[in-house]
Amino acid sequence: MFNRGLWYREWRNMRWMLLGVALLFFLGITLGLMSDADRWHSQKDYYESSDFLKQQEENPEFKTSDEEMKTSLTVAYLAVPMYTNFVQDEFVEYMPFMFYFQVEMFFTLIKVSVFILGVLAVIFERYTRANRFTASLPYKRTHIVGVKMIMGIATIALSYIASMGIGLAYFLSQVPTEYVQFDAAKFWVDIVGGLFTYIVIFLVAILIGLLIGSPIAAAFVAFGVMLLPNVLNPTLDNMYNFIWPHAGDKGMSKLLRFEDYVNVFSPFSFESASFGAVIFSVILSVLMVIAILILYKKQHIERSGYLFAFPWVKWPFLVLFSLFVGMASANLAVTDTELGFIGYLAWGIGATIASFILALYILNKMRGLFQMSKTN
């Protein structure tokens, strides 16, 4: 594991992507927080400008109150909850200052780069047939993949902590302390949860690369996994509303806390200040590390290019793919029509069965559909 030659080899293979990830963290988080500090000052200067004061006098009906102005400048959340169920009472009527760095292009590219880093570690190595050379090296397979994971996770963690630390230090140095009153629990849930979100994305990319032998197919599967919250959360909402239509805000709050466990692929998307979803992310990361070590050790080089790197992956993949399509279809149907609970289930079950049959037909009959793949 600590052989210098192994570490040097993996550094040579991944160095530019590692440096790219570190750079994007700086651009997406550090510079994003600096931009938010400038935006905070611009908002405060606007409230103190003569044009704004004149507008206040000319339109007393739409006058912005002192309380609203102060609240809009108050920094309470790194990621403001979308639902007022999780917002402090004092911020229900007027929302506090919102950070925009999470919706900018470079922040989105961080997630993409972290995934590509995982792709580079396994899928790209298989695509270039470099894994055949790797298998001939005098190192244990668990040590090889262990070094890949350590280098990737260390780069993600150090880049995230450094960029977030520098960015927040600058932001807080620019904003007067009377306007800073972070919700401590939610702040640390966002900070720690954000870190493990990126680690989970990196590990998922490696895991998919070990299970799916075709690089093109692996990319499509990974894209579907990233979309999972966008399909599963609406499904949970629809099912809940059908079964408990009169549950009210209290019931919806319980559901949203549960949905936080689904949002492990979306940085700063946890609604609740509970650490439950963060702990789940940590456990999920540990389980994926164990699975990666086992799968990398047991993988067969001669199956490179097969759609499924292990024969047993085929049926779980078909079932999960069909369920994904079924849920997405039912959600679209209930959005466009006024379906009842039975109709919603019928759409979901029907689409699941149809997609399962179609996928099975494609796998069995349409050889060569995926580049570098052979039908299992």
Span 310-350, pLDDT tens digits: 888 888 888 998 999 999 998 888 876 777 888 888 989 99
Percentage of the chain with pLDDT > 70? 88
State the average pLDDT over residues 11-24: 88
Average pLDDT, integer, range 195-200: 95
Per-residue tokens: 340: 């009842």
Can you give the pLDDT at residue 297? Answer: 83
Percent of the chain at pLDDT exceeding 90: 34
Q: Does the structure show a pLDDT above 90 at 50?
A: no
Rounded Cα–Cα distance for residues 187 and 190 (Å): 5
At residue 368, the pLDDT reads 56
Query: What mean pLDDT is predicted for residues 344-366?
Result: 86
Looking at every residue in the chain, the average pLDDT score rounds to: 84
**Do the Cβ atoms of 263 and 227 come closer than 8 Å?**
no
Q: Distance between CA 206 and CA 227 in Å, rounded?
A: 17
pLDDT at 138: 67
pLDDT at 146: 86
Give CA separation, 120 vs 219, 308, 309, 337, in Å.
12, 19, 17, 43
Higher pLDDT pick, 246 / 93: 93
Structure confidence at residue 49 (pLDDT)? 86
The residue with tokens 């039912």 is 330
- pLDDT band per the 50, 70, 90 thresholds, residue 139: low
Residue of 259 and 353 predicted with greater confidence: 353
- Please provide residue 242's backbone torsions phi and psi, each rounded to the nearest 5 degrees: -70, -40
